[in-house]
Structure 1
Amino acid sequence: MKLKYLKCSIILPFLLWGCSNISDEGLNNQPAYFPIQEFVEVVAEKAEGKNLIKEVNINGEKERVTTKPTTEDWLKELSFFLEADINRPALAQSYHSERSESALIHELKEGEKGKIKRIVVKFNEDKVKEISFRSRTENPFYSSETRGVMIFHSEYGELDQFSIENTQEVVFSKPNKLIISASVFE
């Protein structure tokens, strides 16, 4: 009986210590890549109350709209950028990252599977100047390619303009092309 107690009293602290180290590792929630989702959420909050002029071109038919979006509306307007977030555990090792003084580039590694092929974040000193992405989805019957760019005011660092270009092709159908060009103003 004493031997069992002695074994348990020696092994138990090591087990508890090992478990506490595992949980400490889980607390390190630093994103592996640029946190686009969180960044866009902040951009949407800062843009509330500002006006948006947006031109939508669908297969050559243009429509121009001026609105004053709420934060929720801004999140819908910028949904393509929210969808470009690559900070998911399944993608943690899927991208090659390159950092310079003026840019951060995340590019999908060869052989890896991911919808987002490339993200480029350009900086002006410590402020984000531009964020762009390219995504592609493809199967034997369907392909879709999207390119997006957000440009920020050089002095204030707030959203100045954004554009999205999306092309979809379905087998036996004519390709669909969507182009959104938007400017933000007071």
Structure 2
Amino acid sequence: MYWYKAVRKTILNTSVLLLLGSGYACNKPEIKETGAELKYFDIKGYFNQEATRLVKLDPEVTKSVSHNGTSESKKVHVKSWQQELNLFAESDINKPAWRNSYTIKNDADSTVYTAKDPELKTRQIVIKKQGDKITAVTIVNNTHNFLYNTSERLVYLPGQYYSIDKKQQVKVMGANDYRVKGDF
């Protein structure tokens, strides 16, 4: 009986330590970088500015949502542009640990950031410009492990539309396709 109590106590203590450790890992403070220190395009800053701009404009958007081919569409005024554009902002690649993790290819009208490491979620970002004006942002994300694979293609054309195409393959549950599109 003594060994049972000892094993149970060890498992309980280990569980508590793991929970505390994972809580710290998930909540450790991020090191904020100033705009002068950013190596790559400031995706998070750009989409925060767009969210602020769109809140002021309050445009009517024709929003279409589909799941595995079943779709619905209606005209709406988006209540929270910050939330609506969150997936775009979350694709920020300006983390200190990723400082040298992306190749940069500049053309006359575009900049392409491509991940060097296949384990990075954000695989590619394409910023298209006309002069200093951004005309399109395309982001490709991919997350995978032994249980699932998720790929996302995010497109934002200021003043025209935004779209989120997401494909999920979960081993036990099968495939799901999602699409959200908002036409301005």
TM range (shorter): 0.7 to 0.9
The aligned counterpart of 1:40 is 47
Q: Aligned to 2:106, which of 84, 99, 107?
A: 99
User: With structure 1 as the length reference, what TM-score do the two structures score?
Assistant: 0.76
Please tell me whether residue 135 in structure 1 is matched to residue 141 in structure 2.
yes
Once the 2 structures are TM-superposed, how far is the Cα of residue 136 of structure 1 from its aligned partner?
A: 0.5
Higher CA-based Rg = 1
Once the 2 structures are TM-superposed, how far is the Cα of residue 28 of structure 1 from its aligned partner?
A: 7.6
Which ranges in structure 2 are unaligned for 5 or more consecutive residues? 1-32
How many angstroms apart in 1 are the aligned matches of 2:35 and 2:155?
Answer: 30
Q: Aligned to 2:151, which of 145, 148, 160?
A: 145
How many angstroms apart in 2 are the aligned matches of 1:27 and 1:83?
Answer: 17
Q: Please tell me whether the aligned partners of residues 36 and 85 of structure 1 are also in contact (alpha carbons under 8 angstroms).
A: yes
The aligned counterpart of 1:55 is 64
Q: Please tell me whether the aligned partners of residues 94 and 112 of structure 1 are also in contact (alpha carbons under 8 angstroms).
A: no
How many angstroms apart in 2 are the aligned matches of 1:27 and 1:76?
Answer: 23
Once the 2 structures are TM-superposed, how far is the Cα of residue 32 of structure 1 from its aligned partner?
A: 0.9
Which ranges in structure 1 are unaligned for 5 or more consecutive residues? 1-25, 153-158
The aligned counterpart of 2:88 is 81
Once the 2 structures are TM-superposed, how far is the Cα of residue 112 of structure 1 from its aligned partner?
A: 5.5
Q: What SS does the aligned partner of 1:149 have? A: strand
Within 5 A, what are the aligned runs for 1:148-163? 148-152=154-158, 159-163=159-163
How many angstroms apart in 2 are the aligned matches of 1:112 and 1:172?
Answer: 24
- Equivalenced residue count is 150
How many angstroms apart in 2 are the aligned matches of 1:177 and 1:27?
Answer: 37
Q: What SS does the aligned partner of 2:39 have? A: coil
CA RMSD of aligned residues (A): 1.6
Q: Aligned to 1:120, which of 119, 126, 151?
A: 126
